[in-house]
Amino acid sequence: MQVLLQTLIGGVTFGAVYALVAMGFSIVYRTMGLVNFAHGSVVMIGAYAASTFYLATRLPFAVAIVVAIAVTALIGLVIERFLRPLENKDFTLMLIGTIGFGAVLEAGAVLVWGATGHAVPSPVATGPIDVAGIRIPTYSLLVIAVAAAATGLLALFLQRTKRGAAMQAVAMDHQAATACGIHVGRSNAMAFAIGAGLAALAGSLIGPMLYVNPTMGGTLGIKGFAAAMLGGFGSMPGAIVGGLAFGLLDAFAAGNFQEYSELVTFLVFAVIVMIRPTGIFGEATVNRA
């Protein structure tokens, strides 16, 4: 029972990070109908940026995360600006463009930080909390709390602010939104910036749990993408549920199948998607092509 609960805690911790990555995918997809294949690389840049500011400049970990979010938000704006001329003209080139940006970011990370990567010490000095014989890492609680707070703030932004309402309107019908005077390009830029910020937050939080290296974005990007599909691509609640579900699936597969855990995880994921292709919260597919 203790092993089960310990695995559950680990799964929820990583699931919270996958949910952040999935929400970054979903917010861009909802607004533009575009899958940003550079998203995983942005997660990696966020992890490197946060760890660099935390370790090299001795900034507090929370401040380092904020700086990393600002850096990646700018990257998101740059990506959107380069893709904007192709919107509603050549959807395939937009997809290829995101793949190209991902490759550029990975190559840039190798040039700046090298190919070997580095470990990030936990910013939490206190030891694990013992609850009924179950040792809960304090950092895991921090990750879950920060991810929950970010999710709540994003929900408030989308539902209670004019910018958020504009993004929702563009997601529902960008032509009608344009007719109502909403600047679609500005909403798209905001979606990319928020998605990149979520990616940076995910990368920053997972840095102390993994080894930060230039290829980590590939793994995290694929798992975040799978989580978004599992929950229902384009659905924000689906991204959260899909991220947590994928984290739990990943954790239990690792505990029971060791070196075959990745294979088992994606086999189960494939079966679920075959049964329900639109995901748990399956929304209507957005198509701007």
Residue range 179-195, pLDDT digits in tens: 777 777 888 899 999 99
What does residue 90 show for φ and ψ, rounded to 5 degrees?
-140, 95
The structural domains of the chain, with segments of one domain joined by +, span: 2-114+128-275
pTM of the model: 0.92
Pull the structure tokens for residue 133.
């014989």
Report the run of H or E that residue 23 belongs to, with start and end: helix 2-32
- Model confidence at 228, pLDDT cuts 50, 70, 90, reads very high
Backbone phi, psi, residue 273, to 5°: -70, -35
Per DSSP (E only), the strands in the chain are 129-131, 134-136
What tokens were used for 134? Answer: 């179950």
Tokens 């709390």, residue located? 145
Closest CA to 73 of 168, 201, 186: 201
Fold of 2-114+128-275: ABC transporter involved in vitamin B12 uptake, BtuC (1.10.3470)
Closest CA to 27 of 238, 270, 284, 182: 238
Cβ atoms of 200 and 71 within 8 Å: the answer is: yes
For the chain, what percent of residues have pLDDT higher than 90?
58
Neighbour tally for 46: CB within 10 Å: 30
Mean pLDDT in residue range 84-103: 86
